[in-house]
Amino acid sequence: MKSLDDIRIAEEALATLKGLRTSSVAAVLKELESLSYKVNPTHPDQGDQRHDAWIAVQKLRRELTRDPNCPDGDVLWKDAIAKMNVWRKWL
């Protein structure tokens, strides 16, 4: 059985990612940092899906920090949302 905390984290992270795109860059980066800590897998049994979602958030955060107008931004957003959704469904 999957952890109720993990389900809550995944649902909140997915909602945050979906609603975050229209926020200021500073707000986005702050929320992505928070998401990174919340989603970070702490145990091997938390699934590859959680790890993939965490990596996608990390990539998005890194690229937006480097260049807020990065050309791959849209692709990175979609990837982070898709992988977060896969993790949520796995739970």
Q: Assign 79 a pLDDT band (cuts: 50, 70, 90).
A: very high
Specify the pTM: 0.92
- Full domain range(s) for residue 22: 4-90
Q: In whole angstroms, give the CA distance from residue 73 to residue 66.
A: 11
| Res 43: pLDDT | 86
pLDDT surpasses 90 at 3: no
How many domains does the chain contain in total?
1
pLDDT one-digit tens code per residue, 23-74: 899 999 999 999 999 999 988 888 899 999 999 999 999 999 999 999 999 9
Both tokens of 87, joined, read: 């993790």
Find out whether 29 and 64 touch, Cβ atoms under 8 Å. yes
| Res 1: pLDDT | 54
Of 47, 48, 60, the C-alpha closest to 16 is 60
Both tokens of 74, joined, read: 């849209």
